[in-house]
Amino acid sequence: MPNRNSCIAAICSLFFLLLISGCASTRTSSSDPVEDDEPQIVEDQSEELTITEEIILPAEDTLLEAENDAAQETEEDPQASTEKLSEELTASETEATVEEEVKQLEALGSWEEGTPEEVTEEAEVNYDFPVTMNRQVEFYLDFFQNKQRQTFTKWLARSGKYLPLIQQQLKEKGLPLDLAYLPMIESGYNLTAYSRARAVGPWQFMRATGRKYGLTVNDFVDERRDPVKSSAAAIAYLSYLYEDFKSWHLAVAAYNAGEGKIRKAVRKYKTNNFWEIAQERYLRPETKLYVPKLIAAILIAKEPEKYGFTDIEYDEPFEYETVEVPRWTTIQAVSVAIDMDFEELRNYNRELRRAITPAEQKRYPLKVPIGTKELVEQNLPRVQAVMTTKYQTHKVLKGDTLTKICSKYNLNKTTLLKANDLQASQLIPGKNLRIPYRTTEYKLLSENEIASKIKPAEASPENLVLHKVRPGETISEISKRYGAPPYMIAAWNNLPSIHSIRAGQQLALYLTDEDKTLSPKALSAFEYTTPITTVTTVAKRIPETETEENSDTQLTYYQVQGGDTLWTIAKRYNLTPDKIRRWNQIKGDTIYPGHRLLLKIKKDVDV
């Protein structure tokens, strides 16, 4: 028995070692700029998917990878678990035919038989990337003209949008302008391209590599999808690779396979000639095809009519200007401010994963069409958010419980029961339930609407009323007497809270003599500046009980911005709308830009 057990143990150990060895040698992608043999940055994976992303991918296993990546990135922002990201990712078009390409290239025979020769024929265009011709390049010339003609036509059209800005950056760095065609074979110039290996953007950066070259990747922002910043990062990476290998063929091969893999190949075969290395079996087929594929793309893109691509309708060049907007500003609000289609404006700022500016930046440089910056600055304060409750339907299934349904839609039981006028015992299979959720729509206030809410300053002494606080008098009593909200009285007199008054104190109130309503002078104290807007929330959980404030809280005033609602303000500061209403004696949900709200928030919260 001991001997038998020892043998079994030895066999199991050997199998385990072989399994580990096999996993270690498995590659993940054919077109991702990530190290193969260099140490990799390993980031924690979330075991529980707490958000959903709208991801269009070709296979179920790929979708799981994308969801896992989404969960992984969400760990950086715990609050993201209650948000639905308004993010769309698309499967990388360049991956769709890779297996077919590899099979057909292998059928061509040895790479040694296709020794490259320099292009010698006279051409109307110049190439600053080393263009060579061999059977592999010829294969891709044929492949793009026939099998993949429709897709390549789309890439050519899309190149018109991004090629000029990439070439300008390459020119500034003194690199070959033909490298601007590399995103064509990486992603087809698709900003939202997402590979099976989780590479993202036009240059298909892995997250670790992107961060290494200065790209921000977090729950709000993914600059791998920013055409300007991702191009700058890719150019820096390519420049580094060329300095290392002194060969553009090897540099772009390293961009695909990882610099460690190519560095070992150079040492192993004692050559820096890509084509000689390609003759060996050391490189993966996906890396070998990368260089001839790029060369073929350059040849066709620079002379499309020569290869039968006529009447290409190129996209207009990507031109923009930036305008600084506050954090939490939604692209939807800005699109209303400049009367522009939401999706069109969103394409200017694809790095914003939620279509909202990040919370950690007080001001964010938003890209807008040239000529609209002043319009944003002028109109954004006039954009008002309107929060409404809508309903979707849930059909009760056998086995459903209130807890299960509430968990699915992020509701509490009281909200669900009230929305359906139900008792807990009335949950019947087959019955349709109304599931409430919140949506935000944006409206551009007219000049008359603005004037009726916030008027110009008028420094009229007759509007000033001085009130002497009587013993035992509260600010609520003063508020009712003069018709001025407590928070306004506190703001006019620089009170730290609405409770900070004492007997004998004189309070300044700006009222009209006729009807004791707020005067223009009073309203002018709350004139608004550039707005803060927030992302739409879906079926937010409403606490059934409120926790009392403690010594960790502070009193502060928040000035209502264009686009704000009680809901969005409460969410931002981890409060409830009811608390804000109670502290400021507000009835209903209506607030206006310029008003100041008293808030009790944690001391470590940045206002």
Tokens representing 458 are 């008028």
Amino acid letter for position 55: I
Q: Which residues are catalytic?
A: 186
Contacts of 495 (CB under 8 A, 6+ apart): 489, 501
Specify whether the backbone of 104 is left (phi greater than 0), alpha (psi in -120 to 50) or beta.
alpha
Tell me if residue 18 falls in helix, strand or coil. helix
Rounded to 5 degrees, φ, ψ at 370 are: -55, 135
Q: At what angle do helices 290-302 and 135-145 cross, to 10 degrees?
A: 60
DSSP structural state of residue 324? E
Please name which of 193, 166, 195 lies closest in space to residue 182, comparing C-alpha atoms: 166
The length of the chain is 607
- Kind of pairing between the strands at 432-444 and 506-510: unpaired
- DSSP for 300-316, please give it: HHHSGGGGT--S--PPP
- Say how many CA atoms lie within 13 Å of 133 toward its Cβ: 8
Residue pair 535/354 in contact by the 8 Å Cβ criterion: yes
Continuous H helices in 43-148: 60-74, 98-107, 135-145
Per-residue 3-state assignment (H helix, E strand, C coil) for 558-570: EECCCCCCHHHHH
Would strands 383-395 and 321-326 be described as parallel, antiparallel, or unpaired?
Answer: unpaired
Return the amino acid letter for 85.
L
- Is the CB of residue 93 less than 8 Å from the CB of residue 264? no
How many Cα neighbours within 13 Å face the side chain of 157? 10
CA distance 397 to 414: 20
Instruction: Using alpha carbons, list the distances in angstroms from residue 302 to 27, 118, 167, 196, 203.
Output: 33, 17, 13, 30, 20
**Structure tokens belonging to residue 519:** 């005067």
Q: Could you tell me whether strands 193-194 and 132-133 are parallel, antiparallel, or unpaired per DSSP bridges?
A: unpaired
What crossing angle do the helices spanning 227-245 and 149-173 adopt, rounded to 10°? 70
**368: β partners:** 321
Token pair of 152, please?
A: 């390549």
- The alpha-carbon radius of gyration of the chain (Å, integer) is 31
Question: Which of 355, 68, 23, 331 has the alpha carbon at shortest distance from 222?
Answer: 355
Query: Collapsing DSSP states into helix, strand and coil, what is residue 92?
Result: coil
The dihedral sign for the CA sequence 508, 510, 515, 518? negative
Q: Which DSSP symbol is given to 113? A: G
The phi, psi pair for 533, rounded to 5°, reads: -125, 160
C-alpha–C-alpha distance, residues 500 and 507, integer Å: 11
